């Protein structure tokens, strides 16, 4: 939260993480500054191969901003088309922003080999809908601690 707020008003991060291959972030998707920070972070990681996004518990149920506001910025993240192989989305909730982000990542990542989404049982329909935009030959399902996990593998 602190970092996200510090970089809210700049166009891009002042540093590029050329060698960063694995990134794990925890975000509150009800805060626009944190969603924007994720976009700027992805723009600054041109060689990223693995991304894990953990959705933090938030007090607001729905974001007051739209993914469309950030889509153009995220499209400039070269790691999506050039290097990203694995995505994990932990704690997925079916808010519009999270669904739109997931669908965008599925449609934009050219080299994607594996995506996994962990979600509360009540969100299974939304997860299946989002993942249906890019069907995979291998689909694995599991449940742990009353949370569902759906993983797709591409060849």
pTM more than 0.75: yes
Reported as type and span, the H/E element at residue 42 is: helix 32-43
Q: Is the pLDDT of residue 91 over 70?
A: yes
User: Is 63's pLDDT higher than 80?
Assistant: no
Q: Could you give the C-alpha distances from 69 to 16, 39, 57, 74, 81, in angstroms and in order?
A: 23, 11, 22, 10, 20
Can you give the pLDDT at residue 1?
43
Q: For 17-60, write each residue's pLDDT tens digit.
A: 999 999 999 988 888 888 888 999 999 999 999 999 999 876 55
- pLDDT grade for 5, boundaries at 50, 70 and 90: low
pLDDT at residue 118 above 80? yes
Fold of 2-9+16-57+64-153: Rossmann fold (3.40.50)
Give the residue from 99, 32, 108 showing the smallest Cα distance to 77: 108
pLDDT level of residue 133 (50, 70, 90 thresholds): very high
The SS3 call for residue 74 is helix
Distance separating alpha carbons of residues 60 and 38, to the nearest angstrom: 19
Please report how the helices 124-131 and 96-108 are oriented relative to each other, as an axis angle in degrees rounded to 10: 30
133 vs 4: which has the higher pLDDT: 133
* b/e 44-66 (16+ beta carbons within 10 angstroms → b): bbbebbbbebebeebeeeebebe
> Any idea where the domains of the chain sit in the sequence?
2-9+16-57+64-153
Instruction: Return the SS3 of 118.
Output: strand
């Amino acid at each position: 939260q602190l970092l996200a707020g510090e970089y809210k008003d700049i166009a891009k991060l002042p540093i590029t993480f050329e060698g960063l291959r694995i990134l794990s972030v925890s975000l509150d998707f009800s805060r626009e500054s944190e969603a924007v920070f994720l976009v700027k972070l992805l723009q600054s990681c041109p060689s990223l191969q693995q991304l894990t996004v953990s959705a933090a518990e938030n007090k607001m149920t729905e974001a007051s901003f739209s993914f469309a506001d950030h889509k153009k910025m995220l499209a400039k993240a070269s790691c999506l088309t050039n290097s990203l192989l694995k995505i994990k989305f932990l704690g997925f909730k079916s808010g519009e922003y999270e669904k739109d982000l997931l669908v965008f990542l599925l449609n934009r990542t050219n080299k994607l080999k594996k995506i996994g989404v962990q979600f509360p049982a009540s969100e299974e329909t939304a997860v299946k809908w989002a993942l249906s935009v890019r069907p995979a030959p291998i689909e694995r399902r599991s449940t742990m601690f009353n949370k569902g996990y759906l993983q797709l593998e591409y060849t």
